[in-house]
Amino acid sequence: MKMIQDLSDHPLVQHYLTILRDQRTQASEFRRCSRGITEVIMVEAARLLALESMEVTTPLEVTQGARLSPGVVFVPILRAGLGMLEPAMSIIPGSSVGYIGLERDEVTAEASCYYAKMPDLSASTQVFVLDPMLATGGSAAQCVAQIKAHGAKRVCMVCVIAAPEGLAAFQKEHPDVPVIAGKIDRQLNERKYILPGLGDFGDRLFNT
């Protein structure tokens, strides 16, 4: 798997992302499209999942099959990552969930942690961090550092939009962590918002 993936050649990603970007899109439609785009991105991220082989008996004979290995954990970064949690869980059954609350300072854009609750993590756990916007990469990097400190070694960042500057900073800190994004956008503005982006994901999702 490539360490950075941009899925914007997918027609469904382009469709949902265009509606998410549109400033006229209201919260209910924004939520529907967050769900749609997350499902597409998660199907791709699911290529990282480990399988256990098993036999299955069809109505005609016994054949070789496979089932997902247990130990998949989603960690949405609050708040905006919550918009990705339900669709992600619907794609990968039997998962557990941890939470990290991170908020960017409006002036410095530095993220600080206000909440964390993790399930048991081990070297074999596959963790998917859910955060729709990877801007400076600070929130993602802090979250992954906490997850690694809990013992996880297999971590993947799942985003809707990422900025090139943030991706570079994130990769420098976590070169072992793949990032799967719906789209890698052009750049950050002076307030560290992504351009063209979609504005503040959390505000648009929660109508605040």
Question: What residues act catalytically?
Answer: 104, 108, 200, 203
Nearer to ligand PRP, 71 or 201 (CB): 201
138 near ligand URA (CB under 6 A): no
Helices (H), 60-162: 82-91, 138-149
Task: Tell me if the bond preceding 196 is cis, omega within 30° of 0.
Answer: yes
Q: Which of 135, 152, 156, 169 binds ligand URA (CB under 6 A)?
A: 135
Closer residue to ligand PRP (CB): 154 or 192: 192
Q: Could you say whether residue 206 binds ligand URA (CB under 6 A)? A: no
In angstroms, the CA 77 to CA 100 distance is: 5
| Cβ-defined contacts of 111-119 (< 8 Å, 24+) | 111/138, 111/139, 111/142, 113/142, 113/146, 115/78, 116/146, 118/75, 118/146, 118/147, 118/150, 119/73
Pick one of ligand PRP, ligand URA, none as the site partner of residue 197 (Cβ within 5 to 8 A by kind). ligand URA
Residue 71 makes contact with ligand URA by CB under 6 A = no
Footprint of ligand URA on residues 151-180 (CB under 6 A)? none
In the list ligand PRP, ligand URA, none, the entry touching 138 (Cβ below 5 to 8 angstroms by class) is ligand PRP
